[in-house]
Chain A
């Protein structure tokens, strides 16, 4: 078992490091404007979480090739008990190598990854404590237990909190918006709460810590746009697409003097959101042919070349 763990962890570490490097080199651009939020978000997450899903898929496929072949009755020579060949197989795992090399490779990747993730986790925690203070300082509203009031005269509406999201609305916003516009804003923010967007964004942020800054920013920004559009769609379901689009421009107009909450994305997200609302509803499907093909490709890599590679690695280690 140790032998299997040793080689699997090292292989996983290498795969994760390579995947991250590929993402860093490719520098994935945001999806084109016409892409709906489900697909935009799925595409961005596919890149962001690649070190995890690609590694998991490659390793599972590589390790399962033996048992699959056994069941299917074709392919791998696992059943041919050739003791001079080192097979990568769950049924006949390699023994421990007694050397440090594989473990060192694992540590060389895992330690920096943990350090980067820890930094993001600490930032998340600081943010959570500040949000807690903010929510506690807010006052109850007549709009529901999930909505609380901030004293600000600037128009603000935001959703904070990981486990129990709360919608915060400023007095300034409530004083100037028409009831219909306020309804649209609340529908949008409540959608963020229902989707647990603050929590998802926090997890995204930890995983994003492994990527270089520019690549990270582009992916996170795309995810942010996808989130906003998804909640715009939810609000549009209640209030109508045009009403939500009008509310967006109305609040933007009001807020021109307000402090910037969050940073801006390169091409104006407001424009993208308004155009999306003035167009027919986008497809709700997250999967594209490209995504499916990529996944199958990675699985095939695992079953084939990666499996062979690992067997060579095991042979190298045990000699």
Chain B
């Protein structure tokens, strides 16, 4: 069961995200392996990659176990779970009552309930049946 992350932890740096992507694509890995996937292209050191892994671990996004002399890191959240938490966090930013800035196509909470939805569906259906100009 994925941990609910604290708000500040959810905003990830570019490197942190790249590291997470690598672990999602390639599965659990140690710093050396992650660095091999990433580091060369970015010209960053193994140390930098290790720090990023550690940060993600501290934030609760990764688990690790010691295998021989190195830690092997594994993602604790799926892409979907992370995205869900991000969306929730963004929506909460202004939960003070300001309408969400996410410009979601339909704000489900604003749909007004089942009765309203049925009425609207009936209205639309009757117009469609009239064969009106769409």
Q: Which residue numbers of A lie inside 8 Å of B, CB to CB?
A: 123, 126-127, 129-134, 136-138, 150-153, 156-160, 185, 188-189, 192, 197-198, 201-202, 205, 208, 213, 216-217, 220-221, 223-224, 227-228, 231, 239-243, 245-246, 248-249, 251-253, 255-256, 258-265, 267-271, 274, 278
B65 within 8 A of A: no
CB neighbours of B47 from chain A (8 A): none
CB neighbours of B98 from chain A (8 A): 205, 208, 216-217, 220-221, 263
CB neighbours of B83 from chain A (8 A): 134, 137-138, 150-152
CB neighbours of B104 from chain A (8 A): 156-158, 261-262
Q: Which 3 A-B pairs have the closest CB atoms?
A: A262-B100, A268-B112, A240-B134
Tell whether, in the assembled complex, residue B11 and residue A126 are in contact, meaning their CB atoms are under 8 Å apart: yes
Known: A127-B93, A134-B86, A205-B94. A242 touches B12 (CB 8 A): no
The minimal Cβ–Cβ distance linking A225 to chain B, given in whole angstroms, is: 8
Tell whether, in the assembled complex, residue A278 and residue B117 are in contact, meaning their CB atoms are under 8 Å apart: no
Interface string of B76-97 (1 = CB under 8 A from A): 0011101110111111011111
Interface string of B118-133 (1 = CB under 8 A from A): 0011011001100011
CB neighbours of B87 from chain A (8 A): 134, 152, 156, 158, 259, 261
Contact with B103, one of A227, A252, A255 (Cβ below 8 angstroms): A227
Tell whether, in the assembled complex, residue A261 and residue B116 are in contact, meaning their CB atoms are under 8 Å apart: no
CB neighbours of A129 from chain B (8 A): 11
B109 within 8 A of A: yes
CA distance A127 to B12 in the complex (A): 12
CA distance A217 to B78 in the complex (A): 35
Known: A123-B93, A130-B89, A240-B133. A270 touches B123 (CB 8 A): no
Known: A258-B108, A263-B109, A264-B109. A192 touches B134 (CB 8 A): no
Tell whether, in the assembled complex, residue A151 and residue B14 are in contact, meaning their CB atoms are under 8 Å apart: no
Tell whether, in the assembled complex, residue A137 and residue B86 are in contact, meaning their CB atoms are under 8 Å apart: yes
B40 within 8 A of A: no
Contact with B10, one of A130, A256, A278 (Cβ below 8 angstroms): A130
The SS class assigned to the B binding surface is helix
CA distance A192 to B112 in the complex (A): 23
The minimal Cβ–Cβ distance linking A273 to chain B, given in whole angstroms, is: 9
Tell whether, in the assembled complex, residue B14 and residue A158 are in contact, meaning their CB atoms are under 8 Å apart: no
Known: A138-B83, A150-B83. A201 touches B124 (CB 8 A): no
Q: How many residues belonging to B are interface residues under a CB distance threshold of 8 Å?
A: 52
Tell whether, in the assembled complex, residue A260 and residue B121 are in contact, meaning their CB atoms are under 8 Å apart: no
Tell whether, in the assembled complex, residue A151 and residue B107 are in contact, meaning their CB atoms are under 8 Å apart: no
CA distance A243 to B12 in the complex (A): 39
Candidate in B10, B11, B105, B117 with the most chain A CB atoms within 10 angstroms: B105
Interface string of B2-40 (1 = CB under 8 A from A): 000001001110100100100000000000000000000
Candidate in B20, B82, B87 with the most chain A CB atoms within 10 angstroms: B87
CB neighbours of A197 from chain B (8 A): 103
Contacting A at CB under 8 A, from B20-77, are 20
Known: A127-B101, A159-B102. A255 touches B108 (CB 8 A): yes
Contact with B124, one of A228, A240, A278 (Cβ below 8 angstroms): A278
Tell whether, in the assembled complex, residue B84 and residue A136 are in contact, meaning their CB atoms are under 8 Å apart: no
CB neighbours of B132 from chain A (8 A): 242
CA distance A4 to B99 in the complex (A): 41
CA distance A197 to B103 in the complex (A): 8
Contact with B111, one of A189, A243, A252 (Cβ below 8 angstroms): A252
Known: A249-B117, A249-B124. A134 touches B99 (CB 8 A): no
